[in-house]
Amino acid sequence: MRPFLVLARVSNLPTVWSNCLAAWLLAGGRSWSRFILVGLGATLLYTGGMFLNDAFDQDFDRRYRPERPIVSGLVSPKTVWALSLAWLGIGWAIFLWLGTASAAMAFLLVAAIVLYDWMHKRTVLSPVLMACCRFLLYLLAGVAAGGGRDTALLWCAGALAAYIVGLSYLARGESTGLRFCRWTLVLLFVPAVVALFLPTSIRTLTFVTVAAVQVGWTLWCLWKEKSGMLLALPRGVAGLLAGIAFVDWLAVAGYGSAGAFLLLFGAALTLQRVAPAT
């Protein structure tokens, strides 16, 4: 079972749900049974993308990451290829059930996922491709909720994409030991800036608190020194990945959904103990 949990990057699945929840609330979604289908479809698309990622990366992993499930012999390449296509196909079918507009947007997301998995080891622009996937996921959830063209939704999707670009360039440097452009770290704070200037932002203690939490967690993850009782908390890329839930929470601060985003953040941290986030 664990090889499949590693392949699926299960520790990142809570942030897929937090993306869907934030976009759903921004788009004015009402039917929670429909939201569950959106979350399930997004989960299958994400899982299929992660399986496909390892299927494409076999040559790279054989040289640099021999502990990965396929190259270590824990699961066969044919099984991974078959499951990746199955997850992507079933995920898209769920959005087809939700309507032609959702199916069309889901098709774009699947295309972006396949392009990223195929190209991400071949181009320095792979973080941009990754960000496109999360951007399209926001739009997909918004379209399924009936409000995919909402201005606030588009701005928040763009802010999340900027965060993902900054995070992904940091991850590339962490995994390869190569130097990265430090200016990209500025992108991690774009969500807070965008949320501050959105016309729909609610200038309340709640908004200020959520903004402080998101910025504070980001700074904590970037802080290199490790000491004190907080040593057990993840830093760096793993912490920033879990922090996507805070980015989503900030996008809908004041909507009365704090408990859900905190729960998803906690789930992401917990699952990182089961399978690595990257």
Q: What is the pLDDT of residues 109-144, one digit of tens each?
A: 999 999 999 887 777 888 899 999 999 999 999 999
Burial of 107 per CB tally in 10 Å (0-12, 13-18, 19+): middle
For the stretch 223-245, pLDDT in tens is 764 444 344 445 688 899 999 99
Higher pLDDT, 68 or 201: 68
**Res. 277: pLDDT tops 80:** no
Higher pLDDT, 200 or 34: 34
Q: What is the mean pLDDT of residues 171-194?
A: 74
Higher pLDDT, 203 or 51: 51
- pLDDT score of 278: 67
For the stretch 245-276, pLDDT in tens is 999 999 998 787 889 999 999 999 998 888 77
- pLDDT score of 196: 83
- pLDDT score of 109: 97
The pTM of this model reads: 0.90
- pLDDT score of 237: 85
- pLDDT score of 4: 67
Share of the chain above pLDDT 90, in %: 53
Q: What is the 3-state secondary structure (H, E, C) of 84-119?
A: HHHHHHHHHHHHHHCCHHHHHHHHHHHHHHHHHHHH
Burial of 40 per CB tally in 10 Å (0-12, 13-18, 19+): middle
Q: What is the mean pLDDT of residues 16-40?
A: 94
- pLDDT score of 187: 94
**Res. 198: pLDDT tops 60:** yes
Q: What domains are there in the chain, each with its CATH number?
A: 2-271 (1.10.357.140)
- pLDDT score of 230: 43
| Average pLDDT, rounded, for the chain | 86
Query: At a CB cut-off of 8 Å and minimum separation 6, what does 104 contact?
Result: none
Residue 29 pLDDT class (50, 70, 90 cuts): confident
**Res. 205: pLDDT tops 70:** yes
- CA dist., res. 211 & res. 205, Å (int): 10
Higher pLDDT, 207 or 246: 246
- Compute CA distances 45 → 3, 64, 106, 215, 251, whole Å: 18, 27, 9, 29, 23
Specify whether the CB–CB gap between 48 and 7 falls below 8 A.
no
How many other C-beta atoms lie within 10 A of the C-beta of residue 187?
21
- pLDDT score of 232: 44
- pLDDT score of 190: 95
- pLDDT score of 78: 92
Specify whether the CB–CB gap between 143 and 38 falls below 8 A.
no
